[in-house]
Chains A and B, each alone.
Chain A
Amino acid sequence: DTGVSQNPRHKITKRGQNVTFRCDPISEHNRLYWYRQTLGQGPEFLTYFQNEAQLEKSRLLSDRFSAERPKGSFSTLEIQRTEQGDSAMYLCASSHTGTEDEKLFFGSGTQLSVL
């Protein structure tokens, strides 16, 4: 079990630049989630995929954010024209359809700093 893998672990960018993060879920998991977490707060839901279909998006996900999961395996989260308020930890999680599908397995996150 290799767990959920996220890359990069850290990203520093200048305001206005575009950034892309990658998430590799646990291989047999068909559900993939993106959350955002700021210091002192719990994770906030951004979006959710079942296989390659993006089924739900939070209103937190402005039009500068886009997520894809083209082949139902890995996923990317892109933020265009980054703003300082985008600085946060971006967490990916996956889960398996079945009796315990509410249980999420999180990656270690990508820490984004927008200067």
Chain B
Amino acid sequence: SQKIEQNSEALNIQEGKTATLTCNYTNYSPAYLQWYRQDPGRGPVFLLLIRENEKEKRKERLKVTFDTTLKQSLFHITASQPADSATYLCARPSSGSARQLTFGSGTQLTVLP
């Protein structure tokens, strides 16, 4: 099966610190990984996509890395704020279809003031 595993169901950090979320995948290396943010009662919102030939990608306070040797992606939020509190989802395309995304179960981040 094509699994996506995200570290710890919940992560609490202090405001101003850097949050680091982990996404590990099994089997084949996907062409890309995506990260989404989901707030309670809402649909996921796309944040970043990183391709297998990219080691790192940044967007404002967000940074994503992709290590095909470790089969892992790390998602960092620097200078975290309480407004960053949400569930963050990692996703990969299915081996059988680029149109099907397989999502991890998410990491619930709480930034404490």
Residues of A within 8 A of B (CB): 4, 31, 33, 40-45, 48, 55-56, 58, 91, 93, 100, 102-109, 111
A56 touches B100 (CB 8 A): yes
Q: How large is the interface on B (under 10, 10 to 19, 20 to 34, 35 or more residues)?
A: 20 to 34
Which residues of chain A have C-beta atoms less than 8 A from B46's C-beta? 103-105
Which residues of chain B have C-beta atoms less than 8 A from A45's C-beta? 94, 100-102
A42 touches B43 (CB 8 A): no
B98 touches A102 (CB 8 A): yes
A50: nearest residue on chain B (CB-CB)? Answer: B99
B105 touches A55 (CB 8 A): no
Q: How far apart are the CA atoms of A58 and B97 in the complex, in Å? A: 11
Known: A31-B99, A48-B99, A105-B46. 4 other contacts (CB 8 A): A42-B4, A42-B91, A93-B43, A106-B43
User: Counting chain A CB atoms within 10 Å of each CB, which of B4, B44, B45, B98 scores highest?
Assistant: B44
A interface footprint on B75-113 (CB within 8 Å = 1, 0 otherwise) = 000000000000001010110011111111110000000
Q: How far apart are the CA atoms of A4 and B45 in the complex, in Å? A: 11
Which residues of chain B have C-beta atoms less than 8 A from A103's C-beta? 34, 46, 49
B106 touches A102 (CB 8 A): no
- Which 6 pairs between the two chains have the least Cβ-Cβ distance? A42-B103, A106-B43, A45-B100, A48-B99, A103-B46, A106-B44
> Which B residues between 1 and 25 are near A, CB-CB below 8 angstroms?
4, 9
Distance of A77 from chain B, by nearest CB (Å) = 15
Could you show 11 A-B contacts with beta carbons less than 8 Å apart? A40-B9, A42-B89, A45-B100, A48-B100, A91-B43, A103-B34, A105-B46, A106-B44, A108-B41, A109-B41, A109-B43
Whether A33 touches B41, Cβ cut-off 8 Å, given contacts A103-B46, A103-B49, is: no
Which residues of chain A have C-beta atoms less than 8 A from B93's C-beta? 102
In the complex, whether B42 has a CB less than 8 A from a CB of chain A is yes
